[in-house]
Chains A and B, each alone.
Chain A
Amino acid sequence: MSQATEAGPATARPARLPPATEQGALGWLRKNLFSSWGNTITTLVIVALMAWFAVWFVDWAVLNAVFTAESGQECVGKHGACWAIIGAKFRYIFFGSFPYEQHWRPLFAILAMLAMLVLSCDRRMWSASRLAIIWGVGSVITFLLMLGEIHIPVTLIFVVALIAGLVGYAYRRRVAENAERLAYIALAAIGGLYLILRILGVVPGVAVPIALFSYVETGSWGGLAVTMILATYGLAFAFPYGILLALGRRSNLPLIRGLCIGFIELIRGVPLISLLIMASVMLPLFLPSGTSIDKFLRAQVAVILFAGAYIAEIVRGGLQALPKGQFEAADAMGLNYVQRTALIVLPQALRVVIPPLINTFIGFFKDTSLVLIIGIFDFLKTASQALVDPLWTGFPGEIYLFAAAVYFCFCFSMSRYSKYLERELNKGTQR
């Protein structure tokens, strides 16, 4: 015994393991599924139900299913799913009434948006310049493909030059070389000069057209590309806009605060459908005759306004959860409002609200299907429209199951990303 104590407990005896019944798969089963009579019966009943359903589903969806057929007639009388309708209709479901021989365009637009989203999910891309490049390039590609031609106003180019020059100068003034500083000044000067001339009417407003393909108006868009554009750009604009609203709601300036509260409460107080109908039917009545705003754009703006109000309330929760000491520490160090907000407040506040934020994103992705009310053919609408074909009537189950599967892929990826992001951002910061 004295020997054992001298050698130390680690070498004296092997580490004792918990009893075998508590370990491994067997232990888990015993503990979680068969711990008591009641538990055992529940387990058996549920397993039986699941097995029965699985057998029925495989039977319907695979064994008795019809995968190829010329028309719905061939499926009638069979006991299985008629997947042939998906094969026959998938191009319409995905691309709507976009010109048939041009279907590759929305396809690549969808891929471009997916690439944009996937890249933006990577933390290494989270800098203003990288995100600006990703979204700038991605958006030009997407809309060039969808519309066929885009017109970039020259004024916009000079506005960008002016802003880039000013921002660059403001941030790099103290550290940049002379040449770089001069470049910023020149950029800002050229931009500013053009704008002044433009306002004075000396130079005409022209647009640089980029026309690669035949023009397709938004009324002919349909399917997954529409859903993705509405959701992607809806949330991409609503997110910063919602953050601004939330900050405004917490502002010390009563006028700004009142405005933000009023806006948030107003928007939250009406259903999205009524907002869409207002945008599509009522807004044109108020516009001066002759001017018109594209219906798709109006729906897009309605979605942005609506999502922004909800995002604002979620972000406000995160702002309120932040201890007062964080604001005070930032103030005491001499950070100004913008620095304090961007460097200290938002990174912490947004981290707290990732789960409810992604929850809202998922909700809005699905809510975009409400645009069918005002005659825009989103993915769900094109799917249901496929049933109207007299050759293929009578198979709503197959169509909607397929549509559900596509929606599920998107929503489930968002949910998993939310989980990953939470883990990733909390690395090392756990108290």
Chain B
Amino acid sequence: MAVRDINGASPIIELEQVNKWYGQFHVLTDINLQVRQGEKIVICGPSGSGKSTLIRCINRLEEHQEGTIAVRVDGKRIELTNDVKNVEAIRKEVGMVFQSFNLFPHLTILDNLTLAPIWVKKLPKKEAEDVAMSLLRRVRIPEQAQKYPGQLSGGQQQRVAIARALCMRPQIMLFDEPTSALDPEMVKEVLDVMIELANEGMTMLVVTHEMGFARSVADRVIFMDRGEIVEQGPPKEFFANPRNERTRTFLSQILHH
């Protein structure tokens, strides 16, 4: 419980009694979640359990129907409503990395990175490019700046995607199964970048099946099943003695070999 209240401030993300349906299907049920600044949370669970939907609700890629979701931006609590201003303010603070990278194939790597800073933050081009290059160096692929996404390997593309999200200088990073679409030999290079990011104090919500990453980086592991948060706790506790039957079944399925 060493991570409790890192700076005593109000949570940076707050979900209260969030419910969401796809048509008749109840995909998120009474979700309550508070994330502190700098906290790293790994969310796991069987497919269809609603874990991706949960983090996609935080930047409004999915709309929730009941409950409140709020994000602290510049010390102000902003609630996700239908107000476009609020949505845009939150999206500026929240970066996202997708399973299938979703780089823009018609733009060079550098243009992929500078697009949002130039158009959303109205940064001068030169400045945006400097930021982009320094981030590309950080993910160790500055030499690919002039290439197109299609010319890069999966691992390289995902590192570019991380750099692209970081270009907006977000407070929070959401990762939606960032390594699931990668060949096994490329998983490590992406995880290494994520671990570095975690060590620098970024607030991270990571949907992943990489339990090694959860053990070494997460402050808290959340297990979801059928749209509910079934169990959560620090990784040591979570992996050593899961309390819920469903958690035990899930862990035995993914850890048994």
Contacts and interface: CB of A to CB of B under 8 A. Distances in A.
B88 interface: yes
A343 B95 CA distance: 19
Contacts of B72: none
Interface string B38-69: 00000000000000000000011100000000
A9 interface: no
Given A343-B119, A348-B105, A333 B98 contact: no
B2 interface: no
B104 A431 contact: no
A256 B147 CA distance: 39
Interface string A406-431: 00000000000000000001001111
B102 A328 contact: yes
A344 to B, nearest CB: 6
A332 interface: yes
A336 interface: yes
Contacts of A344: 104
B17 interface: no
B91 A325 contact: no
A328 B99 CA distance: 12
B102 A429 contact: no
B110 interface: no
Contact of A326 (B84, B104, B124, B168): B104
B150 interface: yes
Contacts of A328: 61, 98, 102
A175 B122 contact: yes
B124 A175 contact: yes
Contact of A429 (B60, B96, B119, B148): B148
B151 interface: yes
B80 to A, nearest CB: 13
A16 interface: no
Residue among B59, B60, B84, B105 with most chain A CB within 10 A: B105
Q: For this complex, into which size category does the number of interface residues on chain B fall?
A: 20 to 34
Interface string A175-201: 100000000000000000000000000
Nearest to B88: A334
B186 interface: no
A334 B116 contact: yes
Interface of chain A, main secondary structure: helix
Contacts of A325: 98, 100, 102
Interface string A335-358: 110010001100110010000000
A13 interface: no
A331 B91 contact: yes
Contacts of A334: 88, 91-92, 116, 120, 168
B4 interface: no
B104 A174 contact: no
Residue among B61, B98, B102 with most chain A CB within 10 A: B102
A431 B105 CA distance: 9
A174 B148 contact: no
A332 B122 contact: no
Nearest to A344: B104
Given A332-B59, A334-B116, A347 B88 contact: no
Given A329-B104, A343-B115, A347-B106, A335 B120 contact: yes
B182 to A, nearest CB: 16
B120 A428 contact: no
B102 A428 contact: no
A342 to B, nearest CB: 9
A42 B141 CA distance: 57
22 contacts: A175-B122, A326-B102, A328-B61, A329-B96, A329-B98, A329-B104, A331-B91, A332-B61, A332-B91, A332-B95, A332-B165, A333-B91, A333-B168, A334-B88, A335-B115, A335-B120, A343-B115, A344-B104, A347-B106, A348-B104, A428-B151, A429-B105
Given A175-B122, A331-B61, A428-B150, 16 more contacts: A325-B100, A326-B104, A329-B102, A330-B104, A331-B91, A332-B61, A332-B165, A333-B116, A333-B164, A334-B116, A339-B119, A343-B115, A348-B105, A425-B106, A429-B149, A429-B150
